[in-house]
Amino acid sequence: NAGVTQTPKFRVLKTGQSMTLLCAQDMNHEYMYWYRQDPGMGLRLIHYSVGEGTTAKGEVPDGYNVSRLKKQNFLLGLESAAPSQTSVYFCASSDGRGRRRNSPLHFGNGTRLTVT
Amino acid sequence: AQTVTQSQPEMSVQEAETVTLSCTYDTSESDYYLFWYKQPPSRQMILVIRQEAYKQQNATENRFSVNFQKAAKSFSLKISDSQLGDAAMYFCAYSGGTSYGKLTFGQGTILTVHP
């Protein structure tokens, strides 16, 4: 049982390049999230999804797009990377069903992205 | 909007001693959840403890306990008998009852444990 798996673990991009971060969970969770972590700012929510085919904006959505075509996968895209997007990105999932709608989040191990 | 504040960027403790990490939050909701997460150098996010706002009893998990003061909107974490493996970044987090599990995090506190 892998839990939440993020790929890649590390990536270096040049300004203007694009890339997609992949997140997969095998726990049949309804909710999935993308966060970014920056020094002194904790984790901030980029986008989230409450079910297959749905997405919504979080606190810092600008410059990112997401898709959830399958329940187990949540993709984060950067269309034109900027140095301000240098960060550690975390994917997370939670059960979300019925009385477990505020069950704890399960996190992936993060992706360190550097934009030069 | 909800905010979470951790006013201690860094804390240190001697092995076997007790340390308390502070967290305050601001919300107008009555139904919510509070969490402490641990992030060791491996970068993994590990749930330490969870408190439901409607429960008056403070949550405990082995050496970890919280002091939940709802009126003061305070949620501190006490680590007893500190161990070297407790050294990590600790994040306080808030989730509203109707927020689809979304977490609002504090800035984090780096805990150093001295042998």
pLDDT in tens, B88-108: 999 999 998 777 888 999 999
Reply yes or no on whether the pLDDT at A99 is more than 60: no
- Assess whether pLDDT exceeds 80 at residue B54: yes
Q: In chain B, what residues touch A107 (CB-CB under 8 Å)?
A: 44-45
The pLDDT assigned to A102 comes to: 66
Tokens of A24: 């997969």
User: What tens digit of pLDDT does each residue of A21-68 get?
Assistant: 999 999 999 999 999 999 888 999 999 999 999 999 999 999 999 999
Q: How far is it, in rounded angstroms, from Cα B30 to Cα A25?
A: 31
Predicted pLDDT of residue B77: 98
Query: Quick check: A45 and B97 CB within 8 A?
Result: no
Query: Does A45 or B1 have the greater pLDDT score?
Result: A45
Cβ-proximal residues to A21 (8 Å cutoff; 6+ apart), any chain? A6, A7, A8, A34, A75, A76, A77, A78, A89, A91, A111, A113
- Cβ neighbours of A60 in B, within 8 Å: none
Q: What value does the mean pLDDT take over residues A92-96?
A: 89
Is the pLDDT confidence value at B48 over 80? yes
Per the CB < 8 A criterion, the answer to whether B61 and B77 are in contact is no
CA angle A76, A78, A11 (to 5 degrees): 85
3-state secondary structure of A84: helix
Cβ distance B43 to A40 less than 8 Å, yes or no, reads no
Split at pLDDT 50, 70, 90, the class of A96 is confident
pLDDT recorded at residue A101: 57
Is B100 in contact with A58 (Cβ distance < 8 A)?
A: no
Q: Over 80: is that where the pLDDT of A1 sits?
A: no
Chain B residues lying within 8 Å of A35, measured CB to CB? 105
Q: Which of B6, B91, B100 sits opposite A48 (nearest CB)?
A: B100
pLDDT computed for residue A95 by the predictor: 87
Query: How high does pLDDT run on average in chain B?
Result: 94
Rounded Cα–Cα distance for residues A5 and A7 (Å) = 7
Q: Would you give the end-to-end CA distance of chain A in angstroms?
A: 36
> How many Å is the Cα radius of gyration of chain B?
14
| Distance from the A29 Cα atom to the nearest Cα atom in chain B, whole angstroms | 12
